[in-house]
Structure 1
Amino acid sequence: MTATTQGSAMKSKLLRWSNDFMYQAILNHAQKYDGKFLTCVKSTGIYCLPSCPARKPLLKNIRFLATEQEAIAEGFRICKRCRPDLFYRGESVDENLFIEMLARIRSCPSSFSRVSSLAKSGGISTTKLNELIRLHAHLSPADLLNRERIKAACSALTHSSQRILDVGLAVGFESEASFHRQFSAHMAMTPHAWRLLNSSSEFALKLPDDFTPDYAWRYHLRDKDSLSEHLDKTGFTKALWVNGYPVVIHLQIDGHTANCRWTLPEEFIANSEQPVGVEIHRQVMRLLGLNTDVLGFRSNARQNKHMARLIESTSAIYVPMTANPFESLVWAIIGQQINLTFAATLRQALIKLAGPVIGQDGFRIHPSAKEISELEPHQLTDIRFSRSKAQYLIGVAKAVVTGALDLDQLEQGSAVVAERKLCELKGIGPWTARYTLMRGMGFADCVPVGDSGLYAALQQFYQLDSRPSTAETEQLMKPFSPFRTQATTCLWESLRNKS
């Protein structure tokens, strides 16, 4: 059907509907009529979808038109709340609503003292707000506001000399006590300690009472002969990319404290004046999984029989992440359709091939996108990569280097957008994308469909006769929402506990 024919069909249908019928539809915010007609408000000069959440004018102030072209021709402007232009272009209204809402929060987090004020700014109900933010940020609206307030406070503490109390109030906290409590819970240190980060070569993190490092060390040392991570009696050693340079960190757990110290290479000191403490803190928090909402997960278990049964024989698991999203994506591509042992072997071979050497003893850092983008496929096939896997890995690295794929930006935005952008790349499917969202970006409600370990764990957990299909896996994991990343990790761990 051509645009002209489609427009004629809409006009014909519009003639059969009375103004009273269409007015009742917009009073009910009826989504099923979106695309069937437009509400054009004479007093404001805007045109809206029937489902627009804005307050409705009197019927006498409305014109009903069949198409967007008609509305524009009559001089009406796009409604900024329901965005009919996005609807007619086939873009997601909800997705854009979330992105715009996130931008508003980040521009002035103190503007939203309550969740209700955030809902009002978007012209939606608090129920819709909760659904929207759960879907895109994998957080509750209150948790999203807190996260963004803390991020704004971190920036202010780093780049200004404001009093700590003034910083807390400026980003939207109601009192100094509330600011200190929330900051310490999110950053594992006080605001004062954070402010000193960039003038030191070490820091200490206060660990939760139920934290144990065992799971994190097992995750980071999947390859027991790793060239880029090391664990001994003195602690955990790893090199991190900081401002484009490798920085070796050493982590030591002492009771409920994680002590981190680092050494900078001479070329870093000579060529960079940028402070490093804040960036090292961010990566260490990732390595230890300290951004995991274990308390929320376990609190939810009190009302959720599936969660309660899952955690009854499992200690608290803080989900460790890779130092940066690219490292996780590399691991996910390497691990496609092969077992863990062989994946670890390929990872070690890749690091030996392309990872820069740090120091005198052959210790290496995981290669960045730049090093991998400069490889030729044959160099990877020579170390037992399949040709397709070699092409996927180099292709992704080149996308990162050119800026076509901005992993850091995706990490700070919508999980829906991040998964879609990753899956647009050759060789990236749902499992690879969702694993990267879990371990590389920290999204809390991911199900890595296609994971054989998850299939086996679900079969065991639900006592099924056979392993579930992809569709069945999605269904079986629903009771664990909005904590499916933690639930997945616990299910993986249940296989190890049984063995």
Structure 2
Amino acid sequence: MTVTTQGTAMKFRPLRWSDDFMYQAILNHEQKYDGKFLTCVKSTGIYCLPSCPARKPLLKNIRFLATEQEAIAEGFRICKRCRPDLFYRGENVDENLFIEMLARIRSCPSSFTSVSSLAKSCGISTTKLNELIRLHAHLSPADLLNRERIKAACSALIHSSQRILDIGLAVGFESEASFHRQFSAHMAMTPSAWRLLSNSNAFLLKLPDDFNADYAWRYHLRDKESLSEHLDETSFTKALWINGYPVVIHLHINGSTATCRWTLPENFLPHSEQPAGVEIHRQVLRLLGLNTDVQGFRSSARQNKHMARLIESSAAIYVPMTANSFESLVWAIIGQQINLTFAATLRQALIKLAGPVIGQDGFRIHPSAKEIAALEPHQLTDIRFSHSKSQYLIGVAKAIVSGALDLDELEQGSAVVAERKLCELKGIGPWTARYTLIRGMGFADCVPVGDSGLYAALQQFYQLSSRPSAAETEQLMKPFSPFRTQATTCLWESLRKKS
């Protein structure tokens, strides 16, 4: 058969399999036949890969064609589920599958009652689903579903007057007890306490039994002369960006609870989508590292000799993060190829230069992307930044201000995509990107290859004769997957204990 398209004759390539054989392959969603033939559905006019997760029509309603060009010439359109166009362009099909799956979960988390139902909707096995979500979200499928259900519940609790039980059931939890247990574990407060955040200037967090704030304070106060964080006998004080306004919080730890209080500026305009208390709560969880799956890490240690040896003399470490991902990225760029002391000095100088003053005592807030984007490179070189580092920092800030880089979107998506997008920026390499994924985005299975402290800690842990290379570091960290972020912090901490 010959068809003519745009003035050229194209002869369809014959297929080597029978229709019955290919039909069985698409019923089984066989990925190995992707690129070998296409399924063209007569009733809908779309063409799909053999592995497409969409429901299959009857054989009589299908045409099988060998190439994408043939399908287009016959008037068929691309399937939005399996995206054969991406496959034939050489783009990552699994990455697209993850992104679309995440969008479907967020649109209606109650649609997926179990991991198996999620796998079925994607047209893949539960084993493949686990691999996909581990790679991109650094979570198990069950944990991802719980996270998205709780996010949906958080929004409903603030923006609706529904009963708490009805909200829990509506987002996919099987019972009131299950909803309360999972919500409290993720948010460190009950659903009813969360609902009060829309009209409050304080909240109380229930801390895990093994929580110790010392590690968090040491991280946030690595700059001993910090202008933007302060710890005294009663509380930790820091200014946070809330809806574009600087808000000073006071965080007090008392045994198994943490109390956070704040006062909004007089000119503060509330944000209808995100009340101040909700955003402050989110950032405080980050500052304390309460998103860390310590129990999962320690449970895995029972079956993993490397993890067991790493934590045998170590207290639980909740990995603290920066208040927002931009602050972490700034710290990572500043810290490139210099020691911690000089990095802290440069950070302090940057905050003094561009961080708005809060109050009467010179207390400042870490500058946002807007403040840094407004700087000229010479202003940074004048405070001992290198010329290249000045350009990198201002360039990243400008990308954020222009909308070319959305750190919040990257944080809520795929770790693979986030690392790639960051590394596309001038001056951002794997170490800077992965440090940002750890401290700014909270991904749980990152290895900051290139980190001298990690190299030294691995040499000590494995009793190596010399420091490992980047490739060797990747191999040495594999036994700690899927908790390599926690393992990295434990290894860093082992160096401090030795010194």
Report TM bin, short chain: over 0.9
Q: Alpha carbons of 1:380 and 1:86: their partners in 2 closer, same or farther (altered >3 Å)? A: same
Q: Does 1:428 align with 2:428?
A: yes
Residues 49, 450 of structure 1: CA spacing in aligned structure 2 closer, same or farther, 3 A cutoff? same
Partner of 2:385: 385
1:371-398 CA-to-partner distances (Å, cap 9, x unmatched) read: 1000000000011100000000000001
Paired position in structure 1 for 2:70: 70
Rounded Cα–Cα distance in structure 1 between residues aligned with 2:10 and 2:212: 65
Distance 2:196 2:59 in 1: 61
* Preserved CA contact (<8 Å) 1:10 1:66: no
CA distance in 2, matches of 1:11, 1:468: 54
AA at the equivalent of 1:401: V
CA distance in 2, matches of 1:178, 1:28: 35
Give the aligned residue type for 1:243: N
Counterpart of 1:196 in 2: which secondary structure? helix
Paired residue type of 2:421: K
The alpha-carbon deviation at position 140 of structure 1 amounts to 0.6
| Aligned equivalent of 1:266 | 266
Deviation at 1:110, TM superposition (A): 1.1
Q: CA deviation at 1:300?
A: 0.7
1:34-45 alignment to 2 at 5 Å?
Answer: 34-41=34-41, 45=45
Distance 1:78 1:355, change over 3 A: same
Give the conservation status (yes or no) of the 8 Å contact 1:81–1:123. Answer: no
* Residue in 1 that maps onto 2:402: 402
Partner residue, 2:223: 223
Distance 1:71 1:9 in 2: 12
Question: Does the 8 A contact of 1:26 with 1:51 survive in 2?
Answer: yes
Amino acid across the alignment from 1:295: Q
Q: For residue 348 of structure 1, what is the amino acid of its counterpart?
A: Q
User: Which amino acid counterpart does residue 491 of structure 1 have in structure 2?
Assistant: L
Would the alpha carbon gap of residues 32 and 170 (structure 1) be closer, same or farther in structure 2, given more than 3 Å must change?
A: closer
Conserved in 2, the CA contact under 8 Å of 1:334 and 1:347?
yes
1:170 is aligned with what amino acid? A
1:53-452 alignment, distance < 5 Å? 63-268=63-268, 271-272=269-270, 275-452=275-452
> Structure 2: how far apart are the matches of 1:20 and 1:148?
40
- Whether the aligned pair in 1 keeps the contact of 2:12 and 2:70 (CA below 8 Å) is no
How far apart in 1 are the matches of 2:10 and 2:397? 49
Q: Cα–Cα, structure 1 residues 202 and 16, in superposed 2: closer, same or farther, change >3 Å?
A: closer
Contact 1:435–1:448 at 8 Å: present in 2 too? yes
| C-alpha distance in structure 2 between counterparts of 1:443 and 1:8, whole Å | 52
1:265 alignment partner, SS class: coil
Structure 1 position 61, deviation (Å): 6.4
Deviations 1:43-65 (A, max 9, x none): 76543324445677787765442
Contact kept in structure 1, 2:29 and 2:124, CA below 8 Å: no
Is this contact kept in 2: 1:10–1:37, CA < 8 A? no
Q: Deviations over 1:167-205 (max 9, x none)?
A: 111111111111111111010001111111122211110
Distance 1:103 1:53 in 2: 15
Separation (CA, whole Å) in 2 of partners of 1:199 and 1:59: 59
Amino acid at match of 1:420: R
Partners of 1:23 and 1:340 in 2: how far apart?
A: 61
- The 3-state SS of whatever aligns with 2:444 is coil
Q: Partner letter of residue 451 of structure 2?
A: D
Alignment check: 8 A CA contact 2:370 2:397 kept? yes
Deviations 1:87-137 (A, max 9, x none): 112222111111111111111111111111111111111111111111111
Alignment partner of 1:465 is 2:477: no
| Distance change (3 Å), C-alpha of 1:199 and 1:21 | closer
Partners of 1:60 and 1:285 lie apart in 2 by 56
CA contact (8 A) 2:15 2:65 kept: no
Which secondary structure state, in structure 2, belongs to the residue aligned with residue 40 of structure 1? Answer: strand
Matches within 5 A, 1:3-14: 14=14
| Aligned residue pairs, count | 491
Query: Aligned partners of 1:451, 1:135: CA distance in 2, in Å?
Result: 22
Structure 1 CA distance, aligned partners of 2:45 and 2:368? 52
Q: Gaps (5+ residues) in structure 1? A: none
Distance 1:353 1:123, change over 3 A: same
CA separation in 2, counterparts of 1:8 and 1:26? 30
- Partners of 1:21 and 1:172 in 2: how far apart? 39
Change (3 A) 1:185 1:265: same
Structure 1 letter corresponding to 2:200: S
Deviations 1:237-266 (A, max 9, x none): 000000111100011110000011112222
Task: For residue 158 of structure 1, report the CA deviation from its aligned partner.
Answer: 0.6
- For 2:54 and 2:156, how far apart are their aligned partners in 1? 35
Any idea what SS the aligned residue of 2:236 has? Answer: strand
TM-score norm. by structure 1 comes to 0.93
Q: Deviations over 1:260-282 (max 9, x none)?
A: 111222232xx446631111100
Q: TM-score, normalised on structure 2?
A: 0.93
Partners of 2:431 and 2:24 in 1: CA distance: 45
Work out the percentage of aligned pairs sharing the same amino acid.
89
Give the residue type in structure 1 aligned to 2:387. R
- Cα separation, partners in 2 of 1:58 and 1:199, compared to 1, 3 Å: closer
Any idea what the Cα deviations from partners look like across 1:60-89, whole Å, max 9, x if unmatched? 765442321111222334334432111112
Summarize the Cα distance change of 1:348–1:72 in structure 2 as closer, same or farther, 3 Å threshold. same
Partner of 2:491: 491
Distance 2:484 2:240 in 1: 28
1:189 is matched by which residue type in structure 2? M
Aligned partners of 1:383, 1:53: CA distance in 2, in Å?
56
